[in-house]
Structure 1
Amino acid sequence: MNLEPVARPDAPLARRNPVAKLAAALLCSIILIATLDPVAPAIAIAVELALLPLFGVRLRVLARRALPLLVSAVGILVTLVLFAAERSGRILVEAGPFLITSGVLITALGLVLRMFAVALPGVIVVATTDPTDLADALVQNAKLPARFAYGALAAFRLVPLLAQEWQMISMARRARGVDAGRNPLARLRLFGSTAFTLLVGAIRRGTRLAVAMDARGFDAMTPRSVARRQHFGRADGLLIAGAAVLAGAALAVSIATGTFRPLIG
């Protein structure tokens, strides 16, 4: 599992302040949560994909990063289409107990598109931002406590180790003859025990890391010096404003076309 930035460092938007990119992503996502229709998120996704070259991220690389999101979207779409309680609209497919209507399909499509529109900015931020730069910017520009920012950075750095440990635990159990084979129930039990083992190991590592950070003065309340200065300029403010304009324009088009469905109300 690789969480390091994959964007070209000389790309115009990839060079922006990490806090600005994070704020733009959060602002765009929060605004798009307000609607359930598929029009607004579809517009936002189209614009976000069109801006990928400015972030220095190739579409194929982004697709690999967003693979869990794609799998989740397929699962949500299939579940809603086949098992939704309300079956409004015109009947499109009727096969035994399964009834697919236009209303269900539009609702499922809107939910999937909204999930992509909300999550895609975050994926782009992670793909274009160095975690250390983000922690520095959170402390310098967002004025977050250093203990929180660098603790989050340390936790972020440990995430790739979870996949490696999962593989090591699975291989160790297989070497001892613990294998579920083709039995789905045995696989489920083995998955649960492996996840519990991984959780225990993660808690132990986190505890040791917290003690080590406290021993090195990360909990000290004295002023800290800055080794890597993070500047927040006019272009960073324009990025945040542009994200707000994009999300607002998508909602405006949704309202103008009559497809707007508020989340509340």
Structure 2
Amino acid sequence: MSVLTPARGPQAIFRINPVAKLAATLLLAGVLILTIDWVSASVALACEFVLFCWAGLSLKTFALRTLPVWIAAPTAGLTTLLYGQAAGQVYWSFGLVNVTEGSLELAIATTLRILAIGLPSVVLFVTVDPTDLADGLAQVVRLPARFVLGGLAGLRLVGLFLEDWRALELARRARGIADRGALRRLLSQAFALLVLSIRRGSKLATAMEARGFGAPVRRTWARPSTFRGREFALVGLGLAVALLSVGVSVATGSWNFVLT
């Protein structure tokens, strides 16, 4: 059994307030984007893989959900390797392509940094329920309730958009107007979906106003959102990983501040 099998004990991250997950992710990402060096990204990535063991995700789910990050990171690294700033020894050159010692080091740092920022973001938000996130943003962060509920309603409609797209595609095929002209069909169907989405959004806004979601009074919440010890522990872990990465990078002389 994988170490990423969903945890049933108190270590399961599913019960942690989504605001804490958002804060931990922002802390780590905010530090890593300040530097482009492979040391800080490697340290952060090593610590993250240890923490992923308690993320409550199966190995299959982890691989599938983080697949876009695994594709984007080496792609960005390859682009940097071929077209990055030339410095040091030249390994290969052809036209605009220059593979040098500096571009190779920058490519490795870019790849590791994308992984170090992207993987924990995906892992943490996979375990987030949109309603819990809305409750946390409104009750813990104190964001305006109208803004939070509007965003939650819009997020809930994403699944309906996918279903509407499939229904439009089947309907157009049944009418015999989707047999050829892929680009024309795509544009026409996208416009139809836009019209349908505007109508659905207008109906949803009217229904929410009728139910008092836009009332200028302090609203109550069906489920309380709390920020307790385990939430502070997660934020502390994010801060600790960020500080450790910075410390090792500075100590080894690899710190490369991006604004200098």
Pair in the same fold by TM > 0.5: yes
> Corresponding residue for 1:212?
207
Distance 1:169 1:7, change over 3 A: farther
Matched, 1:72 2:72: yes
Distance 1:223 1:38, change over 3 A: same
TM-score by length of 1: 0.82
Q: Deviations over 1:113-171 (max 9, x none)?
A: 22222232321222112111111122221112211222221122222333334444455
**Could you tell me whether the CA contact under 8 Å between 1:7 and 1:128 is conserved in 2?**
no
Written as runs of structure 1 = structure 2, the 5 A alignment for 1:97-112 is: 98-112=97-111
Amino acid at match of 2:61: V
SS at 1:14 equivalent: helix
Cα distance in structure 1, aligned partners of 2:76 and 2:220: 47
Identical-residue share of aligned pairs (%): 39
Cα distance in structure 2, aligned partners of 1:171 and 1:14: 37
TM-score by length of 2: 0.83
Q: Supply the RMSD in Å over aligned alpha carbons.
A: 2.7
Matched, 1:50 2:50: yes
Amino acid at match of 2:39: V
Structure 1: stretches of 5+ with no match in the other structure: 1-5, 181-185
Cα distance in structure 1, aligned partners of 2:227 and 2:158: 28
Q: Deviations over 1:31-63 (max 9, x none)?
A: 211111122122212222221221211333122
Distance 1:60 1:211, change over 3 A: same
**Could you tell me whether the CA contact under 8 Å between 2:40 and 2:248 is conserved in 1?**
yes
SS at 1:79 equivalent: helix
Deviation of 1:12 (Å): 3.3
Deviation of 1:92 (Å): 3.1
Cα distance in structure 2, aligned partners of 1:177 and 1:190: 6
Within the candidate set 248, 251, 254, 1:259 is matched to 254
Amino acid at match of 1:161: L
Deviation of 1:195 (Å): 4.5
> Corresponding residue for 1:124?
123
Distance 1:234 1:161, change over 3 A: same
**Could you tell me whether the CA contact under 8 Å between 1:14 and 1:54 is conserved in 2?**
no
Written as runs of structure 1 = structure 2, the 5 A alignment for 1:133-152 is: 133-152=132-151
Matched, 1:31 2:26: no
Cα distance in structure 2, aligned partners of 1:144 and 1:153: 13
Bigger mean CA deviation after superposition, 6-15 or 203-212: 6-15
**Could you tell me whether the CA contact under 8 Å between 2:7 and 2:54 is conserved in 1?**
no
Distance 1:41 1:138, change over 3 A: same
Cα distance in structure 2, aligned partners of 1:248 and 1:47: 12
**Could you tell me whether the CA contact under 8 Å between 1:35 and 1:261 is conserved in 2?**
yes
SS at 1:225 equivalent: coil
Cα distance in structure 1, aligned partners of 2:78 and 2:122: 23
| Equivalent residues, number | 253
Cα distance in structure 2, aligned partners of 1:118 and 1:87: 25
Cα distance in structure 1, aligned partners of 2:8 and 2:219: 28
Deviation of 1:253 (Å): 0.8
> Corresponding residue for 1:247?
242
SS at 2:215 equivalent: coil
Distance 1:232 1:177, change over 3 A: closer
**Could you tell me whether the CA contact under 8 Å between 1:34 and 1:263 is conserved in 2?**
yes
Cα distance in structure 2, aligned partners of 1:114 and 1:203: 39
Cα distance in structure 1, aligned partners of 2:49 and 2:198: 38
Cα distance in structure 2, aligned partners of 1:196 and 1:97: 40
Distance 1:215 1:7, change over 3 A: farther
SS at 2:258 equivalent: coil
**Could you tell me whether the CA contact under 8 Å between 1:7 and 1:127 is conserved in 2?**
no
**Could you tell me whether the CA contact under 8 Å between 1:9 and 1:15 is conserved in 2?**
no
Bigger mean CA deviation after superposition, 218-227 or 69-78: 69-78
Q: Deviations over 1:58-90 (max 9, x none)?
A: 333122112233333343233322333x22232
**Could you tell me whether the CA contact under 8 Å between 1:32 and 1:118 is conserved in 2?**
yes
Deviation of 1:223 (Å): 2.6
Deviation of 1:7 (Å): 5.3
Cα distance in structure 2, aligned partners of 1:202 and 1:72: 30
Amino acid at match of 2:44: A
**Could you tell me whether the CA contact under 8 Å between 1:31 and 1:247 is conserved in 2?**
yes
